[in-house]
Amino acid sequence: MEHYDYCTCLPHIGSCLIEKDSENRVVNPTSGGIPETTYSCVASDNCNYEVHVIGNYESSNGRHGFFTERVAGDTDVIVSVSGESPRPLILVLTSYEPVRWRLSVTNGITIDRVILSSYYNSTVSSSPASAIRLTEILSRSEGIRGYGSDIGGGKTADLLLYLQGRFGPVTSFSGSYRASRWELNIKRRAECGWASTACQNLSPPANGRVDISSLEPETTVRYSCNVGFQLSGNRVRTCLESGLWSGQAPNCTKHLCPPLSPPSNGKVMFSDTRPFSSATYTCDSGFGLVGQSVRTCEQSGSWSREPPVCVASVSYTSPPKSDTSTSSSSSGVSIGVAIAVLVLVGTVVLVVARVWFLLHRHRSLSRVSHQRSSPPVPTIPAHETTISHPPLSNPPLSTETKLAEESTFSASV
């Protein structure tokens, strides 16, 4: 698209190529002390005016939304100006939601013109009040707004073209979707355009140091902290062509280990939580320590090793001897009785089996012997007179007795 960079889709008007979080930005927007994403450009081809643009979509503490009465939020702009220039200084403040812009201008500098452009009504004030020479408020119909990224429907490119048509190319543009504070650092020069200039000397942070080899553009400095302190912020900063240092000065905060809690059924003793201090663990009576008894606070702010635990001690107590001997005796008697009963039962079974075997064998031998000694029984002819016997009054004889009587009778005949 026209007026937009092919790769980033960000506006590109003349020498103003908007970039995301560029190191060349001249502002540092924040919300509640937290840095915000910045869309910015710095140009040097306007020899008639110095035009600096700051754009918000909304403030961080306003009230906005559909079906809700809009309430303006506060956005502070701290303007610091160094150097001199015959060119008029113009500051453009733009937003979509209502914003109460509050300017604070240092070094007694006067802003020649402040242009206020917003969709919903916004206001601007300054400290001191004389810092603004002229305030111009654009109406909703003619006002053009943008905060750098037009993907969501902004009109940053149209805003830059509008300003270019009135004053020439902008000197700087800085925008963010939401911000409650802006710090705008303007370095003015008598001649037209930017020129390389040395950066100011840097002070080391409290409880730290900064290593500086030169103050010329492209020079890099590094920050570090003393033992027991941790760096918070930019560790490396670069001197830019504009004479400003990239990023923000970091801080060194005290690095302490967190307090320790005693283990269950135990204690922990420590007198300090600074690096290299130690803590000792012990357990109550009847409990043993599992793990390392000593831990050390490391420079990273964490304790070495894992915390130990206290577990109940396990000891073996032999039962009383009297109980053992009684139990052993009882067990021995029970086993002896069982064996005796088994032996007795086995003996009875063997005796019964032996008697049964002998009786059966004797009966079998008697039958065989009797059969061999008895003569054959004679046969009575059919014509012989049959001798009838009177009925027996006695019970029937056994087979063996009956055979013996018949044999005797035949012999007598």
Domains of the chain: 12-191 (no CATH), 196-255 (2.10.70.10), 266-312 (2.10.70.10)
Tell me the mean pLDDT in the region 199-207. 89
Percent pLDDT > 70 in the chain is: 80
Whole-number pLDDT of residue 378: 53
Provide φ and ψ at 54, rounded to 5°: -125, 125
Banded model confidence at residue 345, pLDDT cuts 50, 70, 90: confident
Percentage of the chain surpassing pLDDT 90? 32
Return the higher-pLDDT residue of 28 and 163.
163
Q: At 47, is the pLDDT very low, low, confident or very high (cuts 50, 70, 90)?
A: confident
Instruction: State the CB neighbour count (10 A cutoff) for residue 192.
Output: 13
In this model, does residue 353 exceed pLDDT 70? Answer: yes
Check residues 97 and 402 and name the one with the higher pLDDT. 97
Give CA torsion, residues 188, 192, 196, 201, to 10 deg: -10
Instruction: Check whether 406 has a pLDDT greater than 80.
Output: no
The yes-or-no verdict on residue 370 having pLDDT over 60 is: no
Average pLDDT for 359-373: 65
Give the per-residue pLDDT at 387.
47
When pLDDT is averaged across residues 290-305 and rounded to a whole number, the result is 88
| pLDDT above 70 for 376 | no
Structure pTM? 0.50
Residue 368: band (very low, low, confident or very high) from pLDDT cuts 50, 70, 90: low
Buried b (16+ CB within 10 A) or exposed e, 368-391: eeeeeeeeeeeeeeeeeeeeeeee
Q: Exposure of 202 by Cβ count < 10 A (0-12 exposed, 13-18 middle, 19+ buried)?
A: middle
Lookup result for tokens 């601007």: 124
- Looking at residue 92, what is its pLDDT? 95
List the beta bridge partners of residue 175: 39, 55
Quote the mean pLDDT of the chain: 80
pLDDT given for residue 208 in this prediction: 92
